[in-house]
Amino acid sequence: MSFAEDGLRSGDDAVAFRHYERAHVLGQMFVGPHVRAHVGMLRVGWRRRDLREIVGQVLRIPGGLIGSAIGRVPIGNTGGANVSAFEPMAIPADLAESLADDDGPAS
């Protein structure tokens, strides 16, 4: 999340969004980090004036909150409006290692 915030501060929306996606993969099993990742993506969408991303995140924020709270999330999903909100995705190797180290959902 801090890398995403750095991207926002420096005006690099692409870097910010990429780090919010990675934060989403790592935090989607936990309500707070999951929602914060979506709020960050919404901020990037707003800055870009990207209506698809704005609408997608407005829908994903409550969905992510509920999904995390009940333990039903598509593992590995990057969370952006450019992908299905229900589609599991492959976890990048470096993130899978981090999840395995933390005994998180690495599969």
Which phi and psi angles does 79 have, rounded to 5°?
85, -5
- Please give the backbone phi and psi of residue 34, each rounded to the nearest 5 degrees, phi first: -65, -50
Q: Do the Cβ atoms of 21 and 80 come closer than 8 Å?
A: yes
Amino acid at 52: R
pLDDT digits (tens, 9 = 90+) for 64-81: 999 999 999 999 999 999
Distance separating alpha carbons of residues 8 and 46, to the nearest angstrom: 12
**pLDDT grade for 100, boundaries at 50, 70 and 90:** confident
Crossing angle (nearest 10°) for helices 51-70 and 31-48: 180
